Structure 1
Amino acid sequence: MRVVLSLPLACLLAQAWLAPGSTLASHSPEAQEGLETLLTPRAQNKTSQTSERPWAPEEEEGEEDSPWLSAKGQQFSREASNLGFSLLRKISLKHDGNVVFSPLGLAWAMAALTLGARGHSRAQLEGLFLQAWNQTWPAVNQTRTPHLPALFKRLRESLSHNPELGLAQGSFAFIHKDFDIRETFLNLSKRYFDMECVTVNFRNTSQAKRLMNHYVNQETQGKLPKLFDEINPDTRLILVDYILFKGKWLIPFDPALTEMDTFYLDKYKVVKVPMMYRSGKFASTFDKNFGCRVLKLPYRGNASMLVVLMGRIGDHLTLEDYLTTDLVDTWLRNMKTRKMEVFFPKFKLDQKYKMHELLKQMGVQRIFLPWADLRDLTVTERNLKVSKSSAIALAFVHQSHYLQLSLFCLLLQGDSLRIGFSGFSLSERKKERKKEEKEEGGGRGEEKKKKENKT
């Protein structure tokens, strides 16, 4: 079952779906057992360019206001949305049940980290976002590379220009009190991502935990009281990005009409849930290729949720492989308004994902290694790397609104002391590094062979 929130903004807000067997509008004649939900996109990005130079603010002066940047913003959003669908597919492979996920928090955190990275580390981060950009405009990329932070700044500004939409976004960094972080990184992260910095003593783990949990809970309006369960005292920096969406239905469901009713977990298992009800005129379409009906539920602020109801249980697996912004656009173009009765369950979901392996599969590997090149983040710290990456998402459907909180967290630590006392020799480390580089090169070689075979 899927629900797709489609925003006419340059922003991939979120993607969430319920387990394949769930049914959200089982009373409707067209509603079969497999309703699927997903929140649609418009934000993020891809590139595969390398830069060996530090970030220089004066070189980027006026970049955010350039006509070229404005003209490419829409395509940037579409390609970013497709990256979001790709991430959703990869997460779904490892999670059989409900999935709630927003690539936007991940996008902001990883893009901010590019400000501190160089060499292969930075190239891999940019490659996550801007591969499609290079494929779409090869001629443009021969002469110039899009400035990733400037694109995200434009995205952030576009989100804040629609007060009716109920969107709140934030970026902040918890920095160890003795961590020598570059002033340039702080200035640029504030300029492009409006990042707030909070000084923390990670050696005092209990105090650091209380301070950070209080700060995050306050920033997310009380929706996430306990983000951190434990803290490694070797932590040097934690980057957190979140987006809080509270979309108010254009026409709310009447609470008086909500009743306990049947909800299908699969073909044979059913449970009783609070089922909301509303009758009226709704935009919808039927996709013959996938055998699904798509319903549009509008929010205030020119945004919509798309509810995709599969004709047969399990068919969502086929649809999942073909989800793109072009498919969503086709659904929207073919919609017609008709009188309908809609039964929609009131529900709450929460999920947490470890993102290490997923990011490595997508080509981001160097930042997780002791030789990650983060020279533009710090001068003195050695063996600085990303030790943890996680995503958290909460979703709640109510009679008056849909609420989703999506948060992404990157934890960076230095491991020089642990290497020194573990007997891990320099020669062993070089061997490990060569092995890793060989694996990366082998992966690129396989891709090259596949392309040649296709040709």
Structure 2
Amino acid sequence: MPHIYLCLLLAGLCAFAHCHHTLDHKEDHDHSPLAEGDRDLPSVKIVQGNADFAFRFYHHVASETAEKNIIFSPLSISAALAILSLGAQNTTLSQLLLGLGFNQSDTSEQEIHEGFHHLLHMLNLPNAEIKLSIGNALFTNDQVKLVKKFLDDAKHFYEADVLPTNFMNPAVAESQINGYIKNKTNGKLDDVVQGLDPEAVMIIVNYIYMTAFWKNPFNYLHTSEGDFYVDDQTTVKVPMMNKDSRFETYRDNILSCEVVKLPYKGDVSAFFILPDQGKMKQVENALSKDVLLKWMKLLALPRFTISSNYVLQEMLRKMNITEVFTNRADLSGITGKPELKVSKASHKAVLDVNERGTEAAAVSFGSDKKGPNAPSSVLLKFDRPFFFFMWAPEDWVMLFMGKIVNPL
């Protein structure tokens, strides 16, 4: 049975990020951020669905990788699956949309794709202080004719590059796809696609690359070696960045954790959540999209670079996206024939946090194959496992999220 390969990749977080996007084609010339009067735009529903998807996906990943670092881009994964839904029908379609957090009785397919279209335009605005780029690409089998409407919709709503590819020569095809991903993620992601099947019909790629500088950077001269307590038995030495400054923070006494907001230049912020000793699981189980309050404290944060690579099939199946991976899949909107399924879906991410800021990149891909209190002055030291979230607060878009268990 012919198959589709979903490629969802994330490349780095240190000072730059990357993103892209594309029913009825409506011209959209207003690329300005959402104003108060624009809160009813479809993009708002996309953001809400994306946040819901992000936390559900995180909890499934955490249940499988309890003692490992986690880093992924909810937006990258959901955008790639949204493109796939353009060609899905019947149960396959409803499972994809519900899994992504969209109720078709509240949000139509048209609104979903228009929402992604508007959101991607807003996020891809050039900014001298922050570079955020999101994009999509379809690598199509040059021997298989795809449905024109599917291709037109992918180009329009998600601005996808459509690139004919010779899958009969897997080595050449892999080189073409990996070269594209490496270029779009500024070299952060390399050799992502391997072992291509000559019978693949299409590879769907979403990439995100971001570079953002701290609004108030850490001083390299204040970075010194410190202990990071991975668990009761494991302690590692890490370069600990130190900053004597006031920050927006929130103490959650119910969940026993501290929340610290570190703003970047531009419109992106990072949130670091530090559970009290022994409260990691309690905080993790309670994580939701509603955690956001402000406090002021002192901060010590480790410098780190981490990466993760996920095979998404099992995670998505737990989120009730199942049929698309079976012979019952209905992706006839892509080729005009029902014999098509997703054979592989993966997501790769790299995160680099240092004194200057953050650099991040991500890629997602898949393939089809035939067949408030007063300010306090307390030392807040991130010397044990913690969580992080990175988002564009103006639009409430969750760009990256994860957990640091071991900075090394």
- Note whether the superposition's TM-score is higher than 0.5: yes
Task: Name the structure with the higher helix share.
Answer: 1
Q: Determine the structure 2 residue equivalent to 1:304.
A: 269
> Is 2:300 the counterpart of 1:336?
no
Q: Determine the structure 2 residue equivalent to 1:408.
A: 364
Partners of 1:343 and 1:68 lie apart in 2 by 39
**Alignment length (residue pairs):** 346
> Is 2:305 the counterpart of 1:348?
yes
Name the SS for the 1:166 alignment partner.
strand
Partners of 2:155 and 2:177 lie apart in 1 by 19
Query: How far off is 1:104 after superposition?
Result: 1.1
Partners of 1:226 and 1:400 lie apart in 2 by 28
Partners of 1:146 and 1:186 lie apart in 2 by 16
RMSD, aligned CA: 2.6
- TM-score computed with the length of structure 2 as normaliser: 0.78
Partners of 2:338 and 2:96 lie apart in 1 by 20
Q: Give 1:191's aligned amino acid.
A: H
RCO (CA 8 Å, sep 6+): is it higher in 1 or 2? 2
Q: Determine the structure 2 residue equivalent to 1:112.
A: 83
Partners of 2:314 and 2:79 lie apart in 1 by 19
TM-aligned CA distance change 1:158 to 1:86, over 3 Å: same
Partners of 1:280 and 1:287 lie apart in 2 by 21
Name the SS for the 1:202 alignment partner.
coil
Q: Determine the structure 2 residue equivalent to 1:277.
A: 242
Which of 60, 64, 67 is the equivalent residue of 1:94?
64
Q: Determine the structure 2 residue equivalent to 1:9.
A: none
Q: Determine the structure 2 residue equivalent to 1:378.
A: 335
Q: Give 1:95's aligned amino acid.
A: T
Partners of 1:291 and 1:196 lie apart in 2 by 47
Q: Determine the structure 2 residue equivalent to 1:442.
A: none
Q: Determine the structure 1 residue equivalent to 2:286.
A: 322
- TM-score computed with the length of structure 1 as normaliser: 0.71
Partners of 2:112 and 2:191 lie apart in 1 by 32
Contact 1:64–1:154 under 8 Å retained in 2: no
> Is 2:205 the counterpart of 1:234?
no
Contact 2:80–2:365 under 8 Å retained in 1: yes
Query: How far off is 1:63 after superposition?
Result: 9.3
Partners of 2:141 and 2:95 lie apart in 1 by 26
Query: How far off is 1:382 after superposition?
Result: 5.5
Q: Give 1:85's aligned amino acid.
A: F
Q: Give 2:321's aligned amino acid.
A: V
Query: How far off is 1:189 after superposition?
Result: 0.5
Contact 1:110–1:125 under 8 Å retained in 2: yes
After superposition, what is the alpha-carbon deviation per residue over 1:190-224, rounded to whole angstroms, capped at 9, x for unaligned? 10000001111111111112222112111111111
User: For 1:69-88, what aligned pairs fall within 5 Å after superposition?
Assistant: 70-71=40-41, 73-88=43-58
Partners of 1:403 and 1:239 lie apart in 2 by 24
Q: Give 1:156's aligned amino acid.
A: L
User: For 1:161-240, what aligned pairs fall within 5 Å after superposition?
Assistant: 161=125, 163=127, 164-240=129-205
* Runs of 4+ that moved beyond 6 A: 62-65
Query: How far off is 1:229 after superposition?
Result: 2.3
Task: Name the structure with the higher strand share.
Answer: 2
Partners of 2:175 and 2:304 lie apart in 1 by 30
Contact 1:76–1:133 under 8 Å retained in 2: no
Q: Determine the structure 1 residue equivalent to 2:118.
A: 154
Q: Determine the structure 2 residue equivalent to 1:390.
A: 346
Partners of 1:178 and 1:162 lie apart in 2 by 37
TM-aligned CA distance change 1:261 to 1:133, over 3 Å: farther
Partners of 1:72 and 1:214 lie apart in 2 by 34
Q: Determine the structure 1 residue equivalent to 2:321.
A: 364
Q: Determine the structure 1 residue equivalent to 2:391.
A: none
Name the SS for the 2:201 alignment partner.
strand
Query: How far off is 1:267 after superposition?
Result: 2.1
Partners of 2:112 and 2:324 lie apart in 1 by 18
Partners of 1:126 and 1:394 lie apart in 2 by 27
Query: How far off is 1:151 after superposition?
Result: 1.0
TM-aligned CA distance change 1:408 to 1:400, over 3 Å: same
Contact 1:150–1:192 under 8 Å retained in 2: yes
Partners of 1:221 and 1:308 lie apart in 2 by 29
After superposition, what is the alpha-carbon deviation per residue over 1:403-425, rounded to whole angstroms, capped at 9, x for unaligned? 2212211111113xxxxxxxxxx
Contact 1:284–1:295 under 8 Å retained in 2: yes
